[in-house]
Chain A
Amino acid sequence: MSATAAAPVKTLPEHHYLNATYGIRSWLLTVDHKRIALLYLVSVTFFFFIGGFFAMLIRLHLLTPSGYLLSADTYNRMFTMHGVAMIFFFLIPSIPAVLGNFFIPLMIGAKDLAFPKINLLSWYVYVVGAAFTLYSMVSGGLDTGWTFYTPLSTIYSNSAVAPAVVGVFITGFSSILTGLNFLVTIHTMRAPGMTWFRLPMFVWAHYATSIVMILGTPVIAITLALAGMERLFGLGFFNPAMGGDPILFQHLFWFYSHPAVYIMILPAMGVISELIPTFARKQLFGYHFVAAASLAIAVIGFLVWTHHMFLTGQSTYAALAFSFLTFLVAIPSAVKTFNWVATLYGGSISFDTPMLYAFGFLGLFLIGGLTGLFLGCLGTDIHIHDTYFVVAHFHYIMVGGAIMGYLGGLHFWWPKMTGRMYPEWLARIAALILFVGFNLTFFPQFLLGYLGMPRRYHVYPPEFQVYNVMSTAGASILAIGYLLPMIYLTWAAFFGKVAGDNPWPATGLEWKTQSPPLTENFEVTPIVTWEPYDFHNRPDLGLDAVASNGVAPAHGDD
């Protein structure tokens, strides 16, 4: 079944999910969760590069105060389409639909997701939604901001709003289907011995994410349907001239779109909770608290949406309540961060690329999370709301957090997905370039924001130029940092060194099968007899059974 670790030259297993069948039909009609994950990988990467291209144009344009590259209308289309592509078509599906799809069944010892055909359907739904949105982009573009605020989007915009709204509406259903599939799978398809508290934290994170996907996404669907009807048929849900209320749109929009932030960050937190124990070779500190924190974020995250609206003129009492709840939702993230750091204590830490991404995530998520305090705080939000401070904050969370987690996960699991290793040193350098480029791009934007530069400006007063130049310089470095992994991971999938079943080694069930796995995942359904991330009672990993770093064991109260 598995090539032994001592074998001098490793070879790929004879049969695996990639060579089980051939031909375009075998991919487009596959119900194998691993192949569907690769379909998603290709599609979300496509949107990442579309969104990244727009971002690059935005940064180049802002190099000078008068903006030398794009017209006002073109600039507005660029940042709108950057947001729509990145949020709805890259960030939201990225980790769940690629890594979650591939690894949840493997991690719980199942042959597939509970509904393999619905899983394939979710990808087709995504593609249809994506097609509508791409059509909007090429047939006039979209200039409403990714937030589609009314009445700008429904009455005043001259761009192709309707197809974009329809596209995002449709894509939402792919999210709902994925969430449903994950929940049922995690409830019903765990292997014998895989109890709830033996689940890897990645699975817990996806459980929490799925709840948000199922409960939140229908609301954005309804909201966009109403906005679409207002745009196309002149109904006045949000139009004050017809008795509607534009602020109602914002309530409905953020009821989904704030929890959507947790759809992006919770799975990334799940990845980090895998990486840190694996590369510190130590159990996750406070397993139960980290799992509970995921659920707390998912639940409280539904109760904070109007913190995007403190200055719309909403009731002062509502603002007080929502600011309070916003500070509460910060706590579980802090708890997770402390547990990750505590996991390092007494570990045996290596600096393989996935761990570098985990360290990078820690630093960037820390800054992203802590800067959220300034925005959740009513007094300071009056000043920095809708400035570049907000832009910097959410890029630290979504790009610094979610994408670092995604890339960390891709490197970690690439040998399992493809059977081959990526080039380690090149990958480490790329991770470093990303970290430096990211900070240079987005840190100056905090300063711009506090100085008062509003978001979504195609020209700006000259006193803001210094920080804009820094940001553009950073973005150029960042672009290299993203291109490198795309190139060498693709190369490695075909020509990399054969990895073996468990190169790190890691403790999860996904590493107990061959790389790449069989279509059925496991030859025999595994029986789980060990606790998660336990390196001490796992002779099969080929490691020492006793810690050699002189830190005394501490049992009991996790």
Chain B
Amino acid sequence: MQSPLPFFPEQASNFAGNVDALFSYILVTAIFFTVLVTLLAVFAAFRYRRKNASDIGAEIHGNTALEIGWTLIPLILALGMFAWGAVIYVNYRTAPKDTLDIYVIGKQWMWKLQQPNGRKEINELHIPVNRNIKLILGSEDVIHDFYVPAFRVKMDVVPGRYNTMWFRPTKVGKYHFFCSQYCGTNHALMGGWVTVMDPAEYAAWLSGESGDVSPVSAGEKLFTQLACTTCHVPNGTGRGPSLNGVYGAKVLLADGSTVTADEGYIRESILQPKAKIVAGYQPVMPTFQGLVTEEQILNLTAYIKSLQTQPVPAKGAGVAPATSGKK
């Protein structure tokens, strides 16, 4: 697979080719300027080397045209790099709709990963090729970072919030993943393998022995156990807003602003319910900080995400209408 002195790692995701192309563009520019400046300096060093001990140099102060030139040309080249990089980054930070969502929890010093059907893995991730994959990342302790060099993607895993990352594996195979944010003693051991499989093989693997409950059904059970159902009534008549279809919708808040209900918002609303109060409702929900584990929060989030029926507008404007928010 590799030469003795490799340069590019394997390209195995939708981002890999573009990142490598951008890298090569910057590399060519960098080499051009390195060679240019080095040649000029070496040329000058020989051509203008001192011949007699008391020689001095020519009387030259500067040249405004040159100064403007070597300010503007690098600036234009740099802005090109910025723009290309920005396009890749915005694409990377904006996951498509049709993703296969995998829940990932980092803790000192292991990764717990869970498939949508509940199958759990430790330091292993199995995914189908050519499918958009979204990882929803949470941490139980310190900051970690999920990094797959062959996919050219990484994202910090930060306690107290969810980060997400997405990619589409394009090549069947087995690839390293690493923790790339220093997290203490065994940081270097906190890695594993991503196995990219044919869809059929993946389906077979997924249906294999597991016995794990899916995050959605675990979440549903918790939702009842924690008595969330008392207030979050599906038809919107409860003391809290209905959660049907809330995921991905724009939520109108009491202070007049709106927020998109993503994983981070759901998590925050569970742990710090008073941070963002939905318009038309009272801040009566208690915090669940310390009462639920990271894994349970993930399960609750997965369940709330699964409630994808039509939104029920209730008691004012819990969920802003899709067409117009104006009265």
Chain A residues with CB under 8 Å of chain B are 72-73, 76, 143, 145, 149, 151-152, 155-157, 240-241, 243, 245-247, 280-283, 285-289, 310-313, 316, 319-320, 323-324, 327-328, 330-331, 334-335, 337-339, 341-342, 344-351, 359, 362-363, 366-367, 370-371, 373-374, 376-383, 385-387, 447, 450-452, 454-461, 463, 466-467, 535-536, 542-549, 551-558
The residue that A152 contacts in the complex, of B33, B78, B142, with Cβ under 8 A, is B142
Whether A347 and B58, one on each chain, are in contact in the complex, defined by CB atoms closer than 8 angstroms, is yes
The residue that B59 contacts in the complex, of A151, A310, A536, with Cβ under 8 A, is A536
Please name all residues of chain B whose beta carbon is closer than 8 Å to the beta carbon of A246 when the two chains form the complex. 143, 158-160
For the complex, is B96 an interface residue (Cβ under 8 Å from A)? Answer: no
Please name all residues of chain B whose beta carbon is closer than 8 Å to the beta carbon of A467 when the two chains form the complex. 5
The distance in angstroms between the C-alpha atoms of A316 and B260, with both chains bound, is: 15
Residues 9-61 of B contacting A (Cβ, < 8 Å): 9, 15, 18-19, 22-23, 26-27, 29-30, 33-34, 37-38, 40-41, 44-45, 48-52, 54-61
Chain B residues with CB under 8 Å of chain A are 2, 4-9, 15, 18-19, 22-23, 26-27, 29-30, 33-34, 37-38, 40-41, 44-45, 48-52, 54-64, 66-67, 70-71, 74-75, 78-79, 81-82, 84-90, 92-94, 108, 141-143, 145, 147, 149-150, 152-156, 158-161, 163, 176, 178-189, 272, 289-290
- Give the residue name and chain of the A residue nearest to B275 (CB): A243
Whether B187 and A346, one on each chain, are in contact in the complex, defined by CB atoms closer than 8 angstroms, is no
The distance in angstroms between the C-alpha atoms of A302 and B163, with both chains bound, is: 27
The distance in angstroms between the C-alpha atoms of A344 and B60, with both chains bound, is: 10
Whether A558 and B61, one on each chain, are in contact in the complex, defined by CB atoms closer than 8 angstroms, is yes
The distance in angstroms between the C-alpha atoms of A151 and B82, with both chains bound, is: 32
Given contacts A247-B158, A345-B60, A386-B154, contact A363 B67 (CB under 8 A): no
Given contacts A346-B58, A379-B84, contact A152 B143 (CB under 8 A): yes
Q: Closest CB of chain B to A500's CB: distance in Å?
A: 14
Q: Closest CB of chain B to A395's CB: distance in Å?
A: 17
The distance in angstroms between the C-alpha atoms of A341 and B6, with both chains bound, is: 34
Q: Closest CB of chain B to A178's CB: distance in Å?
A: 31
Whether A452 and B289, one on each chain, are in contact in the complex, defined by CB atoms closer than 8 angstroms, is no
The distance in angstroms between the C-alpha atoms of A549 and B183, with both chains bound, is: 60
Q: Could you give 6 example pairs across A and B, Cβ below 8 Å? A: A72-B188, A143-B185, A379-B88, A535-B57, A545-B56, A554-B58
The distance in angstroms between the C-alpha atoms of A548 and B48, with both chains bound, is: 10
Please name all residues of chain B whose beta carbon is closer than 8 Å to the beta carbon of A350 when the two chains form the complex. 49-50
Interface SS majority for chain B: mixed
Given contacts A452-B176, A461-B176, contact A383 B153 (CB under 8 A): yes
- Give the residue name and chain of the A residue nearest to B84 (CB): A379
Please name all residues of chain A whose beta carbon is closer than 8 Å to the beta carbon of B155 when the two chains form the complex. 311, 313
Whether A557 and B64, one on each chain, are in contact in the complex, defined by CB atoms closer than 8 angstroms, is yes
Whether B56 and A543, one on each chain, are in contact in the complex, defined by CB atoms closer than 8 angstroms, is yes
Whether B62 and A386, one on each chain, are in contact in the complex, defined by CB atoms closer than 8 angstroms, is no
- Give the residue name and chain of the B residue nearest to A323 (CB): B82
Q: Which 4 A-B pairs have the closest CB atoms?
A: A240-B160, A452-B149, A558-B62, A282-B57
The distance in angstroms between the C-alpha atoms of A370 and B33, with both chains bound, is: 9
- Give the residue name and chain of the A residue nearest to B74 (CB): A334
Whether B54 and A457, one on each chain, are in contact in the complex, defined by CB atoms closer than 8 angstroms, is no
Whether B147 and A386, one on each chain, are in contact in the complex, defined by CB atoms closer than 8 angstroms, is yes
Whether A553 and B180, one on each chain, are in contact in the complex, defined by CB atoms closer than 8 angstroms, is no
Whether A156 and B154, one on each chain, are in contact in the complex, defined by CB atoms closer than 8 angstroms, is no
The distance in angstroms between the C-alpha atoms of A296 and B298, with both chains bound, is: 47
Please name all residues of chain B whose beta carbon is closer than 8 Å to the beta carbon of A334 when the two chains form the complex. 33, 70-71, 74
Whether B160 and A313, one on each chain, are in contact in the complex, defined by CB atoms closer than 8 angstroms, is no
Q: Closest CB of chain B to A37's CB: distance in Å?
A: 30
Please name all residues of chain A whose beta carbon is closer than 8 Å to the beta carbon of B85 when the two chains form the complex. 323, 377-381
The distance in angstroms between the C-alpha atoms of A155 and B140, with both chains bound, is: 13
The distance in angstroms between the C-alpha atoms of A70 and B33, with both chains bound, is: 41
Please name all residues of chain B whose beta carbon is closer than 8 Å to the beta carbon of A457 when the two chains form the complex. 187-188
Given contacts A386-B154, A536-B59, A543-B56, contact A374 B160 (CB under 8 A): no
Whether B161 and A459, one on each chain, are in contact in the complex, defined by CB atoms closer than 8 angstroms, is no
Please name all residues of chain B whose beta carbon is closer than 8 Å to the beta carbon of A451 when the two chains form the complex. 6-9, 149
Q: Closest CB of chain A to B224's CB: distance in Å?
A: 26
Given contacts A349-B49, A535-B56, contact A327 B61 (CB under 8 A): no
The distance in angstroms between the C-alpha atoms of A454 and B217, with both chains bound, is: 37
- Give the residue name and chain of the B residue nearest to A536 (CB): B59
Please name all residues of chain A whose beta carbon is closer than 8 Å to the beta carbon of B8 when the two chains form the complex. 450-451
The distance in angstroms between the C-alpha atoms of A385 and B9, with both chains bound, is: 15
The distance in angstroms between the C-alpha atoms of A283 and B18, with both chains bound, is: 45
Q: Closest CB of chain A to B183's CB: distance in Å?
A: 6
Whether B48 and A345, one on each chain, are in contact in the complex, defined by CB atoms closer than 8 angstroms, is yes
Given contacts A363-B38, A459-B188, contact A312 B158 (CB under 8 A): yes
- Give the residue name and chain of the B residue nearest to A367 (CB): B34
Given contacts A156-B142, A327-B79, A370-B33, contact A72 B185 (CB under 8 A): yes
Interface centre among B34, B50, B60, B67 (most CB of A within 10 A): B60
Whether B56 and A547, one on each chain, are in contact in the complex, defined by CB atoms closer than 8 angstroms, is yes
The distance in angstroms between the C-alpha atoms of A204 and B259, with both chains bound, is: 49
Q: Closest CB of chain B to A149's CB: distance in Å?
A: 6
Whether B19 and A547, one on each chain, are in contact in the complex, defined by CB atoms closer than 8 angstroms, is no
Please name all residues of chain A whose beta carbon is closer than 8 Å to the beta carbon of B29 when the two chains form the complex. 370, 373
The distance in angstroms between the C-alpha atoms of A377 and B26, with both chains bound, is: 9
- Give the residue name and chain of the B residue nearest to A156 (CB): B142
Please name all residues of chain B whose beta carbon is closer than 8 Å to the beta carbon of A338 when the two chains form the complex. 37, 66, 70
- Give the residue name and chain of the B residue nearest to A249 (CB): B143
- Give the residue name and chain of the B residue nearest to A327 (CB): B78
The residue that B19 contacts in the complex, of A149, A331, A363, A380, with Cβ under 8 A, is A380
The residue that A245 contacts in the complex, of B87, B160, B180, with Cβ under 8 A, is B160
Whether B57 and A346, one on each chain, are in contact in the complex, defined by CB atoms closer than 8 angstroms, is yes
The distance in angstroms between the C-alpha atoms of A379 and B58, with both chains bound, is: 45
Whether A335 and B186, one on each chain, are in contact in the complex, defined by CB atoms closer than 8 angstroms, is no
Please name all residues of chain A whose beta carbon is closer than 8 Å to the beta carbon of B183 when the two chains form the complex. 152
Q: Closest CB of chain A to B222's CB: distance in Å?
A: 20
Whether A344 and B48, one on each chain, are in contact in the complex, defined by CB atoms closer than 8 angstroms, is yes
The distance in angstroms between the C-alpha atoms of A466 and B18, with both chains bound, is: 27
Whether B158 and A313, one on each chain, are in contact in the complex, defined by CB atoms closer than 8 angstroms, is yes
The distance in angstroms between the C-alpha atoms of A460 and B23, with both chains bound, is: 24
Whether A455 and B182, one on each chain, are in contact in the complex, defined by CB atoms closer than 8 angstroms, is yes
Given contacts A282-B60, A379-B18, A383-B149, contact A547 B9 (CB under 8 A): no
Whether A466 and B33, one on each chain, are in contact in the complex, defined by CB atoms closer than 8 angstroms, is no
Please name all residues of chain A whose beta carbon is closer than 8 Å to the beta carbon of B188 when the two chains form the complex. 72, 454, 456-460
The residue that A366 contacts in the complex, of B26, B37, B79, B187, with Cβ under 8 A, is B37
Whether A455 and B62, one on each chain, are in contact in the complex, defined by CB atoms closer than 8 angstroms, is no
Other contacts beyond A312-B163, A385-B154, A557-B64: 6, CB < 8 A: A316-B90, A345-B48, A379-B18, A451-B8, A452-B147, A548-B56
Q: Closest CB of chain B to A510's CB: distance in Å?
A: 20
- Give the residue name and chain of the A residue nearest to B88 (CB): A379
The residue that B48 contacts in the complex, of A327, A348, A373, A466, with Cβ under 8 A, is A348
Please name all residues of chain B whose beta carbon is closer than 8 Å to the beta carbon of A327 when the two chains form the complex. 78-79, 81-82
The distance in angstroms between the C-alpha atoms of A382 and B90, with both chains bound, is: 11
- Give the residue name and chain of the A residue nearest to B153 (CB): A382
Please name all residues of chain A whose beta carbon is closer than 8 Å to the beta carbon of B75 when the two chains form the complex. 328, 331
Please name all residues of chain A whose beta carbon is closer than 8 Å to the beta carbon of B152 when the two chains form the complex. 382-383
Whether B147 and A466, one on each chain, are in contact in the complex, defined by CB atoms closer than 8 angstroms, is no
